[in-house]
Structures are given as C-alpha cells and as structure tokens.
Amino acid sequence: MTLSAEQELLAPITLRSELPAETLREMYHYMALARALDERMWLLNRAGKAPFVISCQGHEAAQVGAAFALQRGKDFTLPYYRGLASVLVMGMTPTEVMLALFARAADPSSGGRQMPAHYGSRRLKIVTQSSPVGTQIAHAAGISLAEKIKGGDAVAWTSFGEGTTSQGDFHEALNLAAVHRLPAIFQCENNEYAISVPIRQQMAVNSVADRALAYGMPGVSVDGTDLLAVYEVTRRAVERARRGDGPTLIEARVVRLTAHSSDDNDRTYRPQRELRSLRQHDPLARFVAYLHDHDLLSEAEAQELRAQIAAEVDAATEAAEQAALPDPETLADHVYGS
Amino acid sequence: MSELNVLEAIRQGIDEMMAADERVFVFGEDVGKRGGVFRVTEGLLDKYGPLRIIDAPLAESVIVGACIGAAMNDTLPIAEIQFADFIAPAFNQIVQEAARIRYRSNGDWNVPMVIRAPYGGGIHGALYHSQSIEATFAHIPGLKVVAPSTPYDAKGLIKSAVEDADPVLFLEHKKTYRLIKGSVPASDYRVPIGLADVKRSGSDLSVFTYGLMLHYCLEAAQTLERAGTSVEVVDLRSLRPLDTATILDSVRKTGKALIVHEDNLTGGFGGEVAALIAEHVFEYLDGPITRLGAPDVPAMPYAKPLEDAFMLNPLKIATAMRTLAAY
C-alpha cells in the first residue's frame, strides 16, 4: 500500500457541506424508511404473520452512506443479510422487501424461495446472496476481476459482519483483490457481535481495518453511525477503485440495536448496561440531529416525512400480504437454464 | 482430422472457445507460464495474455468463488482446480453458491462457468492425487457433471461446457491425458451435455462406465468377444444430467447390467445407475444388477502393490463380465 492511498482515505472529512441539502434529505429518507420497514417486520413477526426477521437497525448510516457513494445501475452491490438500507438505496422498493418477508411469488430476490433478507436483483445489480457467510466476498472479487478483464469501470461493493472476517473466503478474496488491484470495496459492518459471540472472542486485533495491511490494501475504520463520514470514506474508495488503484477495506463501527434475529434473545448474553445504552448510539437520531442543527430539516418537515414513510410502509405491507404465494407447480423451475 | 490425445483435445477446445469469444478466460494455479501442471493451458498465455490466462493464488475457494462472481458479470470463466483432490475447500462455493444461484434467485441470476478438475488414479498419485470425486458432486441439483474419456468427447464437451448457461464440473481423468489418443475433426463440433454414447454395441450384457474405466471395459469386452460373449459398453460421459434413456434401452436389449467405476463402491455413482435400472426395467433383467468399484478404503495408496490392489483393471472387469454373462 502506498502512503498516499492511506493519506487520501484518511484525510480529514471536511466536505460534508458540499452535499446539496436535497441529497442530505434523501439520505435521511432512506435511513428512516429502512428503520420503519424493519420495525414493521418485527411487528409482523410478533403478530405471527412472518416467521423470520433479521434486522438492519443500527446499521442504517453505514449502509446509506456507502450506497450513496455508488452508482445505481452501474456498480454491483453484494450486501449481507443486514443490508436492508443498502438495497433500498440501490433501488429495491418497500413492496419488494415485504414480498420477500411474506415469501410471495413476486418477491424479486427469490420468488419466495429464500428466507427474508437474502436480497438480490439482477436489474439493480444486487447480487443474490446465500446464508453461509462470506461467500459473497469472493464473488465481489470475481465481479471486479471480470470488470478489469473487460476494461470497465464499475466497482463491486460488498458488506459483511465482523464475525465473517474469520472466514477463509474473507482472507482469500481480499488477498486476490489486492494482488490484482481490483475495483472492489469491502465494507465490514462491525457491530461487535456474531450472534452472541463478542468481538474479543472473534479476533485479537483492535480493528478489522488493521487486517488490510496484511493484504497490501488500505484499511480505514470509520464511525459507522456517522452517515457522512461513511459516505466520504466510501466515495474516496470508489474513486480509487475506478481509477484502477485497487480495493479498500472499510470497517464501519456500528451498533446492533436488536437481537441477532427474531429467533434470538440478546438479553441472555449482552450486559444490561449495554442494552440500556444502545439507543444513545442510534445513527438515525444522530443524523436527524445533524439535519436540525444545520437547518436542513425542520421538525414539521421531519414529521411530514415520517408520515409519508408510514403510509409507504402500510401500502407495501398490504400489497405484499395480498400478493399470491408461489405455486407448488413451480417447485422444479430454474434448476437449470436448459 | 488430426490425431490428438485427451489433453491436447481439451487444450484445443479451450483455445478455440477463447478465440471465438473474448469473454472466456482461465483462472487457476500455474495455468500461466507453466501452462498448468499437466500442460493443458500450455501456450495460451502467449496467445491471450495475462488478463485471460490468470495464475490464481493458491486458494481453491476463491478460485471458484471469484469465477462465480465473474460469471455474474458477463464473462465465461474456466476455473482450474489443479487436482480434484484439492477441491474440498471450494465445496461451499460450488455447492452452496454456483449450483444454487439460479434456483435461489428464481432464475434471475445464473452462473455460466466451467470447473475443470483432473481426477482419478493409477498414476502413483497416492491418496491426494488420485481421487474420484464425481459421486459427491453428481448428487447436487443445479450442477452439471461430465467425465469424458476420449479426445473427441473431451473437446466436444469442453466446448459445450463453456457455452452452457450453468456451472459444469468438467472431470478429466489424468491417466487418459496422454495415454488415450484418437481422431478429432477440424470442424467446430460439440458433444451435447447429457448424452451417453454406446462405444461398443453388444447383445449379451450391458456395461455402464466412464473415464479411464471405459477403456478398460472396452479391452475386457474384446477379451470376452473372443469367447463368444457380446458385450455392449455404454460411456455415460455426462453424470448429471444422466442419459437414462440410453441406459434403459441398453438393458432392455441385453437384460444384464454391469456398472463399473474407479471410485469406491458405497455411495458411488453406480448405485444411482443400478437404482434406475431396478426401478424402470426390472422385468427385462436376466441377472443381478452388478456394480464393480474400488474397495471402501479412504483413498488410493502410493505403493504399487497397494495401488494395483485398489485399481480395477481389464482383467478384474473381464472376470465380473464373465460371471454376470454366465448367470
């Protein structure tokens, strides 16, 4: 890694005000939409209408910030199962998300075949994902390898939790991407828990970003509850990638505001004090405060936006609930193309 | 028409596909300057350059995983696993990812890639350079598994595999690489995936096999011919999809079925063929469906007497043919 790469990525983030107010409000919209959808999914789960929910809550700033640095329809995103906010920014609609929650035939990710939160859409270049963690990191390396072979300038952005960095595929993929200076961005959303296992039992380094040095690529650790910081770091990484200067590892330090999933109970392993203080790190509250402080969003506007989002979530829920289930006759479809 | 060995035929197939379509590239260990440890990709680096003949880091999971990603970004990757014995680290990528991507995305995404893997023994490769891995992977829907045994089939099948819209595990028996020669036409032909080939027509007994064992079976069949027993030898070529029609037709004709593979017997691919025959043409059978495979030991040992004891040969096969023919 060159010193200039480090300097470039770690340069003080001072460009916030350069983003138009309209963009900042749009960013807030996606964060709030992701949160509202996520909360509704938990309600539907507790009401017995959705067997499984896995949450994005606490990761919204890291994902919206990163996704805004990507080009929709051009760049590839390979999110993991907490990637709700990232796929919304890349173009997936609330109704499409809800179709997956209810396992409906029209679910664009899988036609009701996969558990919810296994996002995918070829049209949006959101790459289909599985449940074994870390496999998508290798795919991101391969997508960017193909991009290099073709001489294109799209980038591949992939996300994963800090637990996944223990997987071999994380190591193999980052190594490959660095060797060939591939246009890939590896975003680790470090919420300090792999289900119940805390980060201290996952790795001995202080930051996932430290590992980048061993691969010969820049690694940056950023406060993942600070949307604009993540946006700026990712924007620089994307620029580097498009220029042909290679991949970047970004650690976005986030909080997991919920249990691992609807089948988990985090009170059995998280200290009480931590559970009580979680909301103090809520990225959504932080960004609202920022917008208020900079007179970019009035309380009236915020209320109006929330009402609009609530209506959007209601409509998405209703449309998805009423949509048809998959026909058992389609069970054997799409095993092979021919 | 030229006389090629299996290795040359595969190389020619890859070369012609790369010349015809710039989306095709090769990714594997030592495939560049060295031309592969068996020389299958020899000369291709000079011809196509380092962006299309790429030496991979020594990491099988990302060899396959990166090719999956590349296949989803409009290229046609050929991954080389240096020895089939080393494919285990890539199992997750092959089975959970490559094979399931079309299905799990409801047909939205697909993975047009080839995974080449030299397999099989009889070459003093010991436990970890001799394995037969086909049964494990042929179990997986979404994956195609082919195992050609002649130069003609190898070239025709590698071209079909590169063009296929789904992942194809392309198994190359390494003992056939230089041992087996045959004529290969200059024309741009294909051998379709999913079709077996009756390599020898006969009336008393049907033998179903693939890979190196095909050649041993043909030799054994010739021995029996001299004693007046007419053996039909069917080269399965493609294990998934499997050409059940050709298998069943053959048994309807001869009434006797022997399945021969180099892999060990229990849970081997022969069990699948035997079950198909038992289910669909039971009333045509005139003898027990018989399987011949390696003993159920973990893998092939190195020392010659042990390797010989493990491997089938034309003599052992001829004995099994005679027993079944006499039933």
Partner-chain residue, chosen from A130, A180, A333, that has the shortest CB–CB distance to B96:
A130
Q: What is the pLDDT of residues A208-245, one digit of tens each?
A: 999 999 999 999 999 999 999 999 999 999 999 999 99
Out of A112, A122, A149, closest to residue B25 by CB: A149
Q: Given the cut 0.95, state whether the ipTM is greater than it.
A: yes
Q: Which chain A residues are Cβ-neighbours of B143 within 8 angstroms?
A: none
How many domains is chain A partitioned into structurally?
1
Residue B64: its chain A contacts at CB < 8 A? Answer: 138
C-alpha to C-alpha distance for B123 and B127, rounded to whole angstroms:
11
Mean pLDDT of A270-275: 94
Between CA A189 and CA A137 the distance in angstroms is 13
Residue B213: name the closest of B305, B115, B292 by CA: B292
A175–B57: do the CB atoms touch at under 8 Å? yes
**Catalytic sites of B, residue numbers:** 129
Which residues of A are less than 8 Å from B109 in CB distance?
120, 122, 127-128
Q: Does A16 touch chain B (CB under 8 A)?
A: no
pLDDT value of residue A338: 85
Report the distance separating Cα B242 and Cα B232, nearest Å. 18
**Which amino acid makes up residue A50?**
A
**R_g over Cα of chain B:** 19
Is A32 a residue whose pLDDT tops 90? yes
Rounded mean pLDDT, A260-273? 96
**pLDDT higher than threshold 90 for residue A16:** no
Q: Which fold has domain B2-184?
A: Rossmann fold (3.40.50)
Does a structural domain hold residue A107? yes
pLDDT tens-digit profile of A39-96?
999 999 999 999 999 999 999 999 999 999 999 999 999 999 999 999 999 999 999 9
A124 min Cα distance to partner chain B (Å)? 11
Q: Which residues of A touch B72 (CB under 8 A)?
A: 127, 139, 142-143
pLDDT (tens, 9 = 90+) of chain B, 327 residues, equals 899 999 999 999 999 999 999 999 999 999 999 999 999 999 999 999 999 999 999 999 999 999 999 999 999 999 999 999 999 999 999 999 999 999 999 999 999 999 999 999 999 999 999 999 999 999 999 999 999 999 999 999 999 999 999 999 999 999 999 999 999 999 999 999 999 999 999 999 999 999 999 999 999 999 999 999 999 999 999 999 999 999 999 999 999 999 999 999 999 999 999 999 999 999 999 999 999 999 999 999 999 999 999 999 999 999 999 999 999
Query: Which positions in chain A touch B106 (Cβ < 8 Å)?
Result: 107, 109-113, 333-334
Which are the contacts of B239, defined by CB distance < 8 A and separation ≥ 6? B134, B138, B145, B146, B147, B210, B269
Give the pLDDT band of residue A331 (cuts 50, 70, 90): very high
Q: Does A12 touch chain B (CB under 8 A)?
A: no
| CA nearest neighbour of B80 among B142, B110, B38 | B38
The pLDDT value recorded for residue A125 is 98
Q: Is A139 on the interface with B (CB under 8 A)?
A: yes
**Chain B residue numbers touching A168 (CB-CB < 8 A):** 59, 61, 89
Query: Which residue from B minimizes the CA distance to A107?
Result: B106
Query: Closest to B103 (Cβ–Cβ): which among A113, A122, A147?
Result: A113
Interchain proximity B104–A173, CB inside 8 Å: no
B105–A120: do the CB atoms touch at under 8 Å? yes
Q: Distance (Å, rounded) from C-alpha B55 to C-alpha A257?
A: 44
Domain that holds residue A109: 3-13+23-321
Instruction: Indicate whether A38 belongs to any domain.
Output: yes
- Which residue of A lies nearest to B48 if distances are taken between CA atoms? A149
Identify which of A148, A172, A180 has the shortest CB distance to residue B61: A172
B167 to chain A: nearest residue by CA?
A: A336
- CA dist A61 to A163, A222, A252, Å? 20, 11, 9
The mean of the pLDDT values for chain A is 95
- What confidence tier does A3 reach under pLDDT thresholds 50, 70, 90? very low
Reported as type and span, the H/E element at residue A197 is strand A197-198
pLDDT value of residue B269: 98
Nearest CB to A146 within list B70, B106, B164: B70
Q: What is the CATH number of the domain that holds A124?
A: 3.40.50.970
CATH topology of domain B197-326: Rossmann fold (3.40.50)
Model confidence at A2, pLDDT cuts 50, 70, 90, reads very low
**Residue B120 CB neighbours (<10 A):** 28
pTM over 0.80: yes
**Which residues of chain B lie closer than 8 angstroms to A137, CB-CB?**
65
Q: How many CB pairs below 8 A link A and B?
A: 152
pLDDT at A13 over 80: no
In tens, the pLDDT along A116-141 reads 999 999 999 999 999 999 999 999 99
Is there a contact between B65 and A173 if contact means CB atoms under 8 Å apart? yes
Q: Which two tokens stand for residue A154?
A: 């799209």
The answer to whether the CB atoms of B109 and A127 lie below 8 A apart is: yes
**Paired tokens of B26:** 């090769």
Note whether residue A29 is domain-resident. yes
Residue with tokens 């026909």: A327
pLDDT number for residue A238: 98
By CA distance, what is B165's nearest residue in A?
A: A337
Nearest residue to A252 via CA among A160, A330, A334, A125: A160
pLDDT at A14: 55
Domain for residue A329, yes or no? no
**B123 CB-near residues (< 8 Å, 6+ apart):** B129, B130, B174, B175
3-state secondary structure of B318: helix
CATH 3.40.50.970 intervals, chain B = 2-184
What is the pLDDT, as a whole number, of residue A18?
81
With a cut of 80, say whether residue A291 has pLDDT above it.
Answer: yes
CB spacing of A175 vs B59 below 8 angstroms: yes
Predicted local distance difference test score (pLDDT) of residue A134: 98
Residue type for position A51: P
Chain B residue with the nearest C-alpha to that of A131: B96
In chain B, which residues fall in CATH 3.40.50.920? 197-326
- What is the per-residue burial (b if ≥16 Cβ within 10 Å, else e) of B310-327? bbbebeebbebbbebbee
Rounded-to-integer distance, Cα B198 and Cα B247, Å: 9
pLDDT at residue A12 above 80? no
The answer to whether the beta carbons of residues A93 and A48 sit under 8 Å apart is: no
pLDDT at A15 over 70: no
